[in-house]
Chain A
Amino acid sequence: MTTPSGDPHDLLAGYLLDALDPEEEARFVAHLPTCAACDAELASLGETVADLAESYHVVPPPTVEARLLSTLFPEENVDPEPAPVTATAERRPRRWVLPAAAAAAFVLGAGAVIGVGALRGSPTVVAASETSDVTTAVMSAPDAHTMPLDLPSGDASIVVSGEMDKAIVMGHELPMPSAGMEYHVWAQSPDGSMSAAGAFVPDSTGAIAMELHGGVRDVASFLITVDPTGAAHPSGVPIAEARL
């Protein structure tokens, strides 16, 4: 294992991503004024991190702006169009506000918006960490093969290792399916028969990393549908396919 000390240049990415321990951060901050290379790299990669940061937009409720301004400027109302301060009905007229279920349906159809309905009422996180042993093993397998899924919205891939006879599905920013629905992965064999390889609801950020059942040796392709929870057969039209 690596000791906590080491080359301070190696801390730059962690510093940019806010991923340093306090001791490491102090060391990097002390190093920075002495190193023109790190300084230049920091400025350049800072904009990359900002792009990463800003890739997901959600308009905050107007109550946040009202609280912010009344905290900072308690003696006056600087807002040229005062935001309502009462708690309940004020956010309804905004055009981007939809009931959660309608939003999810719209999202899956349109592919141009993201729903944050995902934030509530969804099953708990099925994040990478729960399954990280298998998913990491498959991702790191020497013969790992990543097949991107062309979903209407969000990014997902199936990663297959023939040697391990395993496949995983991983994705992020997937829209939350409507209530009672899940993403289903079906394994299609060369003779056309289908078997269930797994079903999932992404976590509240739209992320998923999950092992698929049944191996890959007899699989010709994986199909993705959005079907009712517990469905034993695909009923919907596949929204994406990955051919092995």
Chain B
Amino acid sequence: MASHPAPTAAAEPDPPTASAEDLLERCAQGDRGAFVDLYRRLSPGAYGLALRVLRDEHLAQDALQEAFEQIWSQSGRYDRSRSSARSWILTIVHRRAVDRVRREQVERQGAMAWGAQHREAEHDVVAEVVELHADHRRVRAALSALTPLQRQALELAYHRGLTQTQVAAELDIPLGTVKTRMRDAIRRLRGELEGRR
């Protein structure tokens, strides 16, 4: 757990070119302005991810907040030689969202049931629409190169928050098949994405 030194009196404005890695490392030194910048830069992707997994805006907002609290407190653990700041942060966000889905599954015995209950109270809220992330089309094109079964494995595991054991039960296929399918899916996605950069 990182302990933050006392904040500097006046945070300097960030140069627009500061990378997310720079910002995250400055968080580890207690730079709150860098944290705000980092949040604003990466929260649309993080919130989109939490929404996809949790499918409920209140749960997704809670997960987003908890994740960024954790990101601030653990920023000292970040090592830019190991991963990009984006990857490190989205991993934390995804984990928070998935943990929440699994708690809800246990408490309410089934994601479908809670999804239905949660949605009823959500009329007349303003819809927020964002322009597609520049990478979105690239990712979509890459996903479309996967087989339907590979896409399904990624969808159930990554976006629905099922464990591979649950995926195997859901699809009534052996666990070993699920493992292979997920591994092939993610490797193929990597190849497709690299080919489209």
Contacts and interface: CB of A to CB of B under 8 A. Distances in A.
Interface of A: 1-2, 6, 10-14, 16-21, 24, 43-61, 63-65, 67-69, 71-73, 78-80, 91-92, 94, 96-100, 103-104, 106-107, 112-117, 119-122, 124-125, 127-130, 132, 136, 139-140, 144, 146, 148, 155, 157, 159, 170, 172-173, 203-205, 207
Contact of B48 (A21, A58, A112, A115): A58
A115 B129 CA distance: 5
Q: Is the interface of B mostly helix, strand, loop or mixed?
A: helix
Most buried by A among B115, B148, B163, B190: B148
Contacts, number: 274
Nearest to A54: B45
21 contacts: A2-B175, A13-B183, A13-B186, A17-B186, A20-B163, A44-B190, A53-B93, A54-B45, A55-B135, A55-B140, A58-B51, A68-B69, A71-B69, A79-B36, A96-B129, A100-B125, A112-B131, A119-B56, A121-B119, A144-B148, A172-B151
Interface of B: 7, 11, 13, 32-33, 35-36, 39-40, 43-45, 47-49, 51-52, 55-57, 61, 64-65, 68-69, 72, 82-84, 86-87, 90-91, 93-95, 98, 112, 115-116, 119, 122-133, 135-136, 138-140, 142-144, 148-149, 151-152, 154-165, 167, 170-171, 174-176, 179-180, 182-183, 185-187, 189-190, 193
Contact of A67 (B65, B87, B175, B193): B65
Most buried by A among B64, B129, B174: B129
Contacts of A146: 148
A207 to B, nearest CB: 7
B71 to A, nearest CB: 10
Contacts of B127: 97-100, 103-104, 115-117, 119
Nearest to A122: B119
A66 B138 CA distance: 33
